């Protein structure tokens, strides 16, 4: 492909060379450069790609794309490579990537989900329903990317633009015509999804998050970045009950649909009822557009909102009601209020709740089921905010009947120091707790001492499959800890 073809949707200035040269590869990684490569220099949060230009010249790079105002040596480059200058090199990379991979998104239905909470669970619900209908559906999100039977662990909620279009190409080549993906505010801010027209875009909810020097300067900027998705989509589907939906809709340029439980909406849920039986908990509800009552094998009002997102997309795509009912009943998300079925006497749940707000939400949700006890197992990450430890300790002390304080990615800190901080918060309350630094031992203790009607919640790690200690990630998965504990107890003649 010629460089000029890659640049067809990019505003640029040719500073040196011939834009009609043949390009064999495209990258923003200087380590992947060779003859025939177009290298896009990006100014990142940690390093500036322009500083690697001399190295790319030594590797025989054919074309270099630089950002206006960046520091580079024109005299060094002009006789060795074609030089293109753009106003925004990240944006240029996004447009160049889609051309490089042949615009695969134009041949697929693209569903994007944004919001502070609910993105991950909703993507899996949508995929479950569409797969049940016979639609081969790819998934891109926080936990993983799914292409057919291939599951690849994710590095970012939304990949960088080159990787995103490469993934679209792999999906299309595998016969996938529908993609459901999480779209983070950072991805929108950094132009990772630029140039993509989403067939459906969903807004789940908005609350203060990701505000800081390396993410968003303010809540207003965070909201504005989220709103960008609805200016590059055909149909926007909004949570009618979220207080920020009105502002998001005002900023949108797409067709509008809504879902909700409390306000009038195109897709409305009602008559929600909780159920618990033999260690399982969940809920049932009615939906205005489906005759049959729906069941979710997961707790929480927020789960109904997630289900409504999935229903709205499925109905737009013509999914039969029977497949929607089946898909929602079968939905499971690793590490997101994930019920592990090991006993009829008590329930045990894995959840990614790793801050006070998320922990409070899940514990209040579980309290609605009137359990015998709520037993919470959690720790806090090392080399992170101490305030989070105090807050999570206090929340668990207030809302749990018993807390087991343990370890969670201590990194370069002593786990006992982290536990000491958590105790500062929990000791403000009057609830019982115990310290068991080894997470496997903590899980074993909880299961061995479980009582009839208990709900045990393993909070903080969710889908993670490692424990980070002194810079080394050691394999560890919550579900495996649970099953190992069951095996140890069975070996001792104890049935759970």
Domain 338-491 has CATH 3.40.710.10: no
Tokens of 267: 């897709």
Helices (H) and strands (E) in the chain, counts: 16, 24
Average pLDDT over residues 92-104: 98
What is the C-alpha to C-alpha distance for residues 303 and 456, in angstroms, rounded to an integer? 19
What is the C-alpha to C-alpha distance for residues 439 and 450, in angstroms, rounded to an integer? 16
Confidence of residue 213 (pLDDT cuts 50, 70, 90): low
Residue-wise pLDDT for 434-452, tens only, equals 999 999 999 999 999 999 9
Q: What fold is seen in the domain 104-330?
A: 3.40.1190
Q: So what's the pLDDT on residue 212? A: 56
Confidence of residue 178 (pLDDT cuts 50, 70, 90): very high
Confidence of residue 207 (pLDDT cuts 50, 70, 90): confident
Q: So what's the pLDDT on residue 218? A: 80
Q: So what's the pLDDT on residue 220? A: 86
Residue-wise pLDDT for 309-359, tens only, equals 999 999 999 999 999 999 999 999 999 999 999 999 999 999 999 999 899
What DSSP letter does each residue of 56-79 carry, written as one string? HHHTT-SEEEEETT----HHHHTT
Residue-wise pLDDT for 367-386, tens only, equals 999 999 999 999 999 998 89
Q: So what's the pLDDT on residue 208? A: 61
Closest CA to 216 of 231, 227, 204: 227
Tokens of 490: 């069975």
Q: Where in the chain is the domain with CATH 3.40.1190.10?
A: 104-330
Mean pLDDT of the chain: 95
Tokens of 67: 């950002």
Number of Cβ within 10 Å of residue 16's Cβ equals 17
Average pLDDT over residues 270-289: 95
Q: So what's the pLDDT on residue 459? A: 98
Q: Where in the chain is the domain with CATH 3.40.1390.10?
A: 3-100
Q: Which CATH architecture has domain 3-100?
A: 3-Layer(aba) Sandwich (3.40)
Report the residue count for the chain.
496
Average pLDDT over residues 209-222: 67
Cβ(53)–Cβ(77) under 8 Å?
yes
Q: Flag whether pLDDT at 467 surpasses 90.
A: yes
Residue-wise pLDDT for 32-58, tens only, equals 999 999 999 999 878 899 999 999 999
Q: Where in the chain is the domain with CATH 3.90.190.20?
A: 338-491
- Tell me if residue 218 falls in helix, strand or coil: coil
Q: So what's the pLDDT on residue 385? A: 87
């Amino acid at each position: 492909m010629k460089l000029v073809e890659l640049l067809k949707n990019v505003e640029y200035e040719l500073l040196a060379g011939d834009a009609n040269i043949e390009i064999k590869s495209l990258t923003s990684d200087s380590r992947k450069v060779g003859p025939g490569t177009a290298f896009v220099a990006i100014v990142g949060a940690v390093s500036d790609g322009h500083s690697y230009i001399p190295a790319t010249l030594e590797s025989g790079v054919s074309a270099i794309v630089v950002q206006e105002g960046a520091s580079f040596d024109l005299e060094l480059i002009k006789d060795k490579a074609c030089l293109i200058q753009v106003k925004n090199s990240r944006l240029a990379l996004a447009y160049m990537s889609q051309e490089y991979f042949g615009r695969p998104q134009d041949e697929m239905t693209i569903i994007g989900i944004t919001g502070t909470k609910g993105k991950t669970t909703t993507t899996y619900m949508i995929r479950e329903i569409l797969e049940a209908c016979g639609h081969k559906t790819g998934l891109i999100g926080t936990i993983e990317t799914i292409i057919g039977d291939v599951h690849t662990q994710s590095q970012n909620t939304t990949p960088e633009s080159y990787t995103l279009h490469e993934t679209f190409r792999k999906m299309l080549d595998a016969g996938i015509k529908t993609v459901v993906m999480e779209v983070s505010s950072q991805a929108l801010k950094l132009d990772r999804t630029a140039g993509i027209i989403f067939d459906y875009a969903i807004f789940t909810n908005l609350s203060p998050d990701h505000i800081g020097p390396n993410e968003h300067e303010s809540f207003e900027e965070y909201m504005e970045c989220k709103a960008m998705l609805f200016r590059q989509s055909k149909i926007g589907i909004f949570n009618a009950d979220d207080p920020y939906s009105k502002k998001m809709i005002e900023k949108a340029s797409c067709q509008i649909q809504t879902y909700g439980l409390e306000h009038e909406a195109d897709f409305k849920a009602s008559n929600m009822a909780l159920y618990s039986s033999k260690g399982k908990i969940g809920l049932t509800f009615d939906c205005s557009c489906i005759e049959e009552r729906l069941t979710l094998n997961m707790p929480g009002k927020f789960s109904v909102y997630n289900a409504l997102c999935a229903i709205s997309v499925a109905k737009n795509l013509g999914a039969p009601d029977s497949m929607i009912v089946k898909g929602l009943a079968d939905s499971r998300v690793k590490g997101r209020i994930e019920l592990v079925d090991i006993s009829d006497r008590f329930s045990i749940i894995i959840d990614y709740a790793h801050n006070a707000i998320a922990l409070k939400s899940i514990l209040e949700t579980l309290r609605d089921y009137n359990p015998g006890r709520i037993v919470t197992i959690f720790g806090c990450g090392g080399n992170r905010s101490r305030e989070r430890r105090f807050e999570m300790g206090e929340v668990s002390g207030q809302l749990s009947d018993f807390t087991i304080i343990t370890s969670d990615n201590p990194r370069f800190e002593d786990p006992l120091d982290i536990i000491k901080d958590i105790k500062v918060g929990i000791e403000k309350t009057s609830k019982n707790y115990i310290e068991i630094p080894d997470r496997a031992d903590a899980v074993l203790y909880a299961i061995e001492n479980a009582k009839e009607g208990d709900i045990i919640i393993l909070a903080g790690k969710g889908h993670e499959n490692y424990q980070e200690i002194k810079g080394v990630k050691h394999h560890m998965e919550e579900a495996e800890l649970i099953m190992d504990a069951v095996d140890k107890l069975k070996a001792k003649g104890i049935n759970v």
